[in-house]
Amino acid sequence: MGGLPRGMDYSDLMLGVSVLRNRRLADVFYRLHLIEAYGTGIPRIMESYAGRSRQPVISVSDNVFKVTLPNTNHATEAQPEDDGLSNVERKIMRYLMGRESASRRQIETAVGVSQARTTRALNALAGKNLVYRMGSGKNTAYAAVSK
């Protein structure tokens, strides 16, 4: 707990300067492949939010160092357009258009969301009669309903 290490300021942090508080703990994380290299975290976080409307907030004082990361996935899905579909549902529909069918895994990979989110979106689309299921189990495929 505490602010930045002694002698380090906000601009050093943004440049990726790393001052370890606990070398043993950092070495354990490194060996477990939970970190790639020392000092890359903050620049990588900022890079991952480049071009987004919601940005991380970094608060630094003598006693506190806090990084608040906005959930950009939630904000994207919560903004339905006038067709009543979430962005994920819309991406799935675009992917399925012009295809005979696709598996959940193919759709998941193409859309770039988790298995659970893909399944929820496919179920929602089926409930709206925009997608239908073919087969069962591992052989389940999905297709867009022709209009």
Beta strands in the chain (DSSP E): 57-60, 65-68, 102-103, 131-134, 141-144
pTM of the model: 0.46
Phi, psi of 137 (to 5 degrees): 60, -135
What residue has token string 């409307």?
53
C-alpha count within 13 angstroms, C-beta hemisphere, residue 90: 12
Domain boundaries, the chain: 10-70, 74-144
What digits encode the pLDDT tens for the residues 52-108?
Answer: 778 899 888 888 888 899 887 654 544 545 678 888 999 999 999 878 999 999 999
What is the CATH number assigned to the segment(s) 74-144? 1.10.10.10
